[in-house]
Structure 1
Amino acid sequence: MKKALKIALLSMLALAVVLVAAGFLFVYKIKNGFPAGFETNQPTINFPADKPALLLFSKTTGYRHSQSIDAAKKAFHQMADKNGWFVYETEEGGVFNAEQLKKFKVIIINNSTGRLLNAEQQQAVTQFVESGGALMGIHGSGDFSHDDWPWLVTNMVGASFSHHPLNPQLQAAQVHIEKNSDSALISRLPVSWTHTDEWYVFLSQPKNAQIVAYIDGEKILPSGNILFITDKDFGMGKYHPIAWHRDVGQGKTFYTSMGHDAAVWQDARFVALLENAVRWSIR
């Protein structure tokens, strides 16, 4: 009897250790990613001479928003067919070289998370934007897994990510358009609409940014507390930005924290905002 009890207790202890280790590995992956390496081979791309080129980058080494990534790919290709754009879609970093980036009008970071590019490739993005290019980011591209790329955090997001709500994770909120937004970014959009998403909470308002859309942060449940993480029970207050843009050198960046799952791509207003953002980027 004692032996059986001892075995049971040891089994429970082993299971607890495995669960704790798995939890730490999961948190590490979410915050840092597990890169297998950085791709450096330049791809062969046939750029149409008469179409603005969009680089749609969907690589992940951290948490992967698989369904949203796939839905976004479909949506951007549909936009391209409608507007006469060329989309080059990839999950490899070899295209991030100065020579090929010059041929694109805008880089779209499609929910990419974790460590994505090496130092030389990151610098190529910096030069691309600061010399007149545009960079767009969706949802996970602004989370805390990009600490190895401080330029991205500073110049695309402009704020440090803290957490997202967990109970419930997805919540409906009223999206409001900022009245003073660039007319190109809010064309065809209503002044407000209801949207369900995973609302990111940042530690501050985005710095040096022009806000395009916001929600009332006091009307959502913002707590991100889970297990031993108990300091995430706060939001961004009544004025909670969810889409904004910044001038960076001669170029510009646009970011929206919306875009967690496939369902958001069924929201015509959300898709229209991103279509406007591409038009704004390449005009």
Structure 2
Amino acid sequence: MLVLVTTTAAAQPRPLRVLYLSQSVGFVHETVRRPADGLASSELALQAMAHDSGAFTVELTQDARDITPARLADVDVLLFSTTGALPIDRPTWDAIVSWIESGRGGFVGVHSAADTALAFEGGQEFYTAFLGGRFDGHPWTQGTAIGLSTLEPRHPLVSMWPEHTGYAEEIYQYAGFDPARVRVLQTLDMRVGPLRRPYPVPVTWVRQSGAGRLFYTNLGHTPSTWDDPRFRAQIVAAIRWTGHRLDAPTAPNPDVQDRAAITALSAAQGLDEPTPPSDLSEIASRIRALQALHPEKHDGDATAWDAALDQLSDSAP
């Protein structure tokens, strides 16, 4: 007797649905500027990532008013590369946050997504708290040689990068940043490049938002970054992770960030990195406070800056 045995392949999940917003209210980055007869370089790059990975499809818009509560029902991941006060009202923003926190959607922010606000009263504060930080200047201007440190080389959202590498990018520093709320995966390496500041500068982080997930990276200022296979792999991984197709740790890592603060201070000052002190958290907090004291923020007055550095030199191991 013949027995017919049939097998069926496991159903493949449908591609994630990404809505890419690249609206500029104010400064327009080269990566989002559309030529008269085509798409912006970042839009073309995302289309290529979608095609090559098969992990997602992408819709493109440069008008935040296209994001409505009804539209979110057909979206899995929002991706922002934006600037300025976006025309999103409070009810729509509340719907976006609810959509994410319920686990129905995820958020990916690229570069100037941190130089973004919302066009309603208190919108800047709401958005900063959501993202985890806001633009506070970019001492590392376009094309500056930098060092990039990957703090967790095996983490799926940064494993495509070496633990330490040189790069050329525009790098932001942030206000409203709370290490206790995010897991930082990449930072500036202050041992590399012509501009070395004695405080930590996060580059890539993730956080959990209710049942939803948020990814942000400072990278993505230039078309060359969008063409970099490592960056493309990172964005695909971020989309998969925020869309719940990839698992990765999200718990905040303030202890790791505190050690990175000590490393930044030591590297910028040309000192050997010390053994982490017993009061690491307190010293790291004082190191982070240096950013707001830098002379460029006080019309060149270095009095507070010099005093704080002297105190840290006296107290650091």
How high is the TM-score relative to the length of structure 1?
Answer: 0.69
| Distance in 2 between residues matched to 1:139 and 1:219, nearest whole Å | 21
| Structure 1 stretch displaced more, 117-126 or 132-141 | 117-126
The 1:102–1:79 alpha-carbon spacing in structure 2 relative to 1, beyond 3 Å, is: same
Deviations 1:209-258, CA, capped at 9 Å, x for gaps: 01111112464566xxxxxxxxxxx9571x32100011111101111112
SS of 2:133's partner is: coil
| Distance in 1 between residues matched to 2:189 and 2:203, nearest whole Å | 10
1:153 aligned onto 2:125: no
SS of 2:25's partner is: coil
- The answer for unaligned runs of 5 or more in structure 1 is 1-48, 223-233
1:243 aligned onto 2:215: no
The equivalent residue for 2:74 is 103
1:132-143 to structure 2, matched below 5 A, reads 132=103, 133-143=105-115
| Distance in 1 between residues matched to 2:166 and 2:191, nearest whole Å | 15
Work out which structure has the larger RCO, using CA pairs closer than 8 Å and 6 or more positions apart in sequence: 1
The equivalent residue for 2:169 is 197
The equivalent residue for 2:221 is 260
- The answer for unaligned runs of 5 or more in structure 2 is 1-12, 34-39, 246-317
1:4-15 to structure 2, matched below 5 A, reads none
CA contact (8 A) 1:62 1:145 kept: no
Q: Which amino acid aligns with 1:71?
A: S
Q: Which amino acid aligns with 1:178?
A: L
| Distance in 2 between residues matched to 1:108 and 1:189, nearest whole Å | 21
The 1:144–1:98 alpha-carbon spacing in structure 2 relative to 1, beyond 3 Å, is: closer
Task: Report how far residue 50 of structure 1 moved.
Answer: 3.5
Q: Which amino acid aligns with 1:65?
A: H
The equivalent residue for 1:67 is 31
Deviations 1:107-164, CA, capped at 9 Å, x for gaps: 00023433331222212211111111211111111026557343321121x1242111
| Distance in 1 between residues matched to 2:152 and 2:172, nearest whole Å | 22
Q: Which amino acid aligns with 1:163?
A: G
| Distance in 2 between residues matched to 1:190 and 1:165, nearest whole Å | 24
Q: Which amino acid aligns with 1:242?
A: V
| Distance in 1 between residues matched to 2:93 and 2:70, nearest whole Å | 14
Task: Report how far residue 93 of structure 1 moved.
Answer: 2.6
CA contact (8 A) 1:214 1:240 kept: yes
The equivalent residue for 2:62 is 91
Task: Report how far residue 173 of structure 1 moved.
Answer: 1.4
How high is the TM-score relative to the length of structure 2?
Answer: 0.62
The equivalent residue for 2:291 is none
The equivalent residue for 2:259 is none
Deviations 1:168-207, CA, capped at 9 Å, x for gaps: 54312121212276x3213433223222111101136544
1:212 aligned onto 2:185: yes
Q: Which amino acid aligns with 2:15?
A: K
The 1:204–1:99 alpha-carbon spacing in structure 2 relative to 1, beyond 3 Å, is: closer
CA RMSD, Structure 1 to Structure 2 (Å): 2.6
The equivalent residue for 1:165 is 139
**Identity value in percent:** 23
SS of 2:123's partner is: coil
| Distance in 1 between residues matched to 2:98 and 2:74, nearest whole Å | 13
Q: Which amino acid aligns with 1:50?
A: R
SS of 1:196's partner is: strand
Aligned match for 2:48, one of 78, 84, 88 = 78
SS of 1:164's partner is: coil
The equivalent residue for 2:149 is 176
SS of 1:184's partner is: coil
